[in-house]
A and B are shown apart, each in its own frame.
Chain A
Amino acid sequence: MPFSTIATPEAKPVMNYKMGTRMEGGRLLYVSGQVAWDASGAIVGKGDIRAQARQTFENLRQVLRVAGGDLKDLMKITTYITKIEDVPAVAEARTEVFQGELPASTLIVVKSLFHPDFLIEVEGVAAV
Chain B
Amino acid sequence: MDRRDILAERPVEKGRGFMPGVSVNPSRVLFTAGLTGRDPDGSLVSGGMASQARRTFERLQAILAQAGANFGDAVKQLVYVTDLEAYNASGRPERAKFFGGARPASTGLVVRRLADPAMLIEAELVVDLGGSRQGAPLLEKYNAEKHPGDFHQGVIVNGGRLLYLAGQVANNPDGSVAGVGDWRRQAEKVYENIGHLLRAAGATPASVVKETTWVLSIDSWRQHGPPVRRAFYSGDFPASTLVEIPGLARREFLVEIDVIAAVA
Binding site for B on A (CB under 8 A): 6-15, 17-24, 27-34, 37-41, 62-64, 66-67, 75-76, 78, 80, 83-84, 87, 104-114, 121, 123, 125, 128
CB of B163 within 8 A of CB of A87, answer no
CB of B110 within 8 A of CB of A110, answer yes
Contact of B21 among A19, A31, A110, A113 (CB under 8 A): A31
CB of A67 within 8 A of CB of B6, answer yes
The chain B residue sitting closest to A75, CB to CB, is B164
The 6 closest A-B pairs by CB, nearest first: A106-B167, A109-B247, A33-B107, A41-B12, A76-B164, A11-B193
Chain A residues within 8 Å of B256, by CB:
106, 108
Asked if B106 is at the interface (CB within 8 A of a chain A CB), the reply is yes
Looking at A29, A32, A34, A84, the one whose CB has the most chain B CB atoms below 10 A away is A32
CB of A22 within 8 A of CB of B161, answer yes
A64–B199 alpha-carbon span in the complex (Å) = 30
Shortest A121–chain B CB gap in Å is 7
Contact of A110 among B8, B20, B196, B246 (CB under 8 A): B246
Binding site for A on B (CB under 8 A): 4, 6-8, 10-12, 18-26, 29, 75-76, 82, 84, 104-112, 126, 161-169, 171, 173, 175, 192-194, 196-197, 199-201, 214, 245-251, 256, 258, 263
A65–B252 alpha-carbon span in the complex (Å) = 37
A109–B201 alpha-carbon span in the complex (Å) = 28
A104 and B21 in contact, given A67-B4, A87-B249, A111-B111 (Cβ under 8 angstroms)? no
Shortest B36–chain A CB gap in Å is 17
Chain A residues within 8 Å of B246, by CB:
84, 109-111
The chain B residue sitting closest to A32, CB to CB, is B105
Chain B residues within 8 Å of A18, by CB:
166
CB of B167 within 8 A of CB of A11, answer no
CB of B258 within 8 A of CB of A22, answer no
Chain A residues within 8 Å of B8, by CB:
62-63, 66
Q: List 25 A-B contacts (CB under 8 A).
A: A10-B193, A11-B168, A13-B166, A19-B197, A20-B164, A20-B200, A22-B201, A23-B163, A28-B162, A29-B23, A31-B20, A31-B21, A32-B107, A41-B12, A76-B166, A78-B167, A80-B107, A84-B247, A104-B164, A105-B167, A106-B166, A106-B167, A110-B245, A111-B246, A113-B110
CB of A22 within 8 A of CB of B110, answer no
CB of B106 within 8 A of CB of A19, answer no
Q: In the complex, given contacts A20-B197, A22-B201, what are 15 additional A-B residue pairs having Cβ atoms less than 8 angstroms apart? A: A11-B194, A12-B171, A20-B165, A23-B161, A28-B24, A29-B23, A32-B21, A32-B106, A32-B107, A33-B106, A104-B166, A111-B112, A113-B108, A121-B107, A128-B23
